[in-house]
Structure 1
Amino acid sequence: MACRISELVLDAHDPARLAAFWCEVLGYVELGREGDDIEIGPPDTGFGGPQPTLVLNASTDPKPAKLGLHIDVSPTDRDQEAELARLLAAGATHADCGQTGEESWYVLADPEGNVFCLLKKQIPAA
């Protein structure tokens, strides 16, 4: 028997803002709230489905300069350049973590500065 990732928890100064951003990015919906924490996930599936949910955990702790873990996303219904434009319009920003410019991915940050990468390869939506 093995484990699988069921949810990812991300500390957030403004969970509602990050939930809205990641719902737009991933096509997720809000699944529930517990206090100021918000869980989002795939519509009609929720917790325990094939994709992990994302919990935006309210925190006032200072963020570390660099998280030890980051999220990679891949386009599902458009090419990388079109998806990059969509993510930037949703509130992502370019982030510099020492890339050479020769990478096949883009390094971006969400509205709270959490770094994530947009990969080139298009994958099926589910």
Structure 2
Amino acid sequence: MPLSFQVVVDCADPHTLADWWAETLGWDVEPSNEDFIRKMIAEGHADEADTKTHNGVLVWRDGAAVVHPDGRTAGPGARILFQKVPEPKTVKNRVHLDLDVGQDHVEAELERLTARGATFLHRGQEGPSNWVTITDPEGNELCLH
């Protein structure tokens, strides 16, 4: 039986990073269910310290997600969860996202994303394939090809 999955990114500021990735991918930040959050607090399953306000909306403090515009009907991998962790990133990612922007658009995407806080790392090539490796604002690697 095939399994569904989501990609999870450890980070320091889940909501800000989710906003960055949503704009980068053309995806949507998953909406917060403020009524559900308030209910969990009222029932004692959570407290105010578990929440914060981001862009005027009550959200869970330690997590945010982005979803494909077609929602979960887009299939496995149509959701990326950003979760807060206490330690900073210290080594290269063992898993990263490759964004297929089309070879004619790599330079424009590189310029767009570095203007928004990405950092250029290097260019790579293997046979006829080439790519650019960058990081998001928290240092997580991704490739443009």
TM-score by length of 1: 0.76
Max Rg structure? 2
For structure 1, list consecutive stretches of 5 or more residues without a partner in the other structure. Answer: 120-126
Which secondary structure does the structure 1 equivalent of 2:74 belong to? coil
Aligned match for 1:47, one of 62, 67, 72: 72
Distance 1:37 1:85, change over 3 A: same
Aligned length: 113
Distance 1:26 1:59, change over 3 A: same
**CA shift digits 1:61-103 (9 cap, x unpaired):** 2324112111111116x6222222222122211125xx6x656
- Tell me how far apart the structure 2 counterparts of residues 79 and 107 of structure 1 sit (CA, whole Å): 14
Deviation at 1:56, TM superposition (A): 0.5
Distance 1:91 1:62, change over 3 A: closer
Structure 2 equivalent of residue 17 of structure 1: 16
**Structure with the higher helix share, 1 or 2:** 2
For structure 2, list consecutive stretches of 5 or more residues without a partner in the other structure. Answer: 33-58
Aligned match for 1:87, one of 84, 100, 113: 113
Which secondary structure does the structure 2 equivalent of 1:88 belong to? helix
**Would the aligned equivalents of 1:80 and 1:118 in 2 still touch at CA under 8 Å?**
yes
Indicate the percent of aligned positions where both proteins have the same amino acid. 35
TM-score by length of 2: 0.67
**Would the aligned equivalents of 1:18 and 1:56 in 2 still touch at CA under 8 Å?**
yes
**Structure with the higher strand share, 1 or 2:** 2
CA RMSD of aligned residues (A): 2.2
**Would the aligned equivalents of 2:11 and 2:88 in 1 still touch at CA under 8 Å?**
no
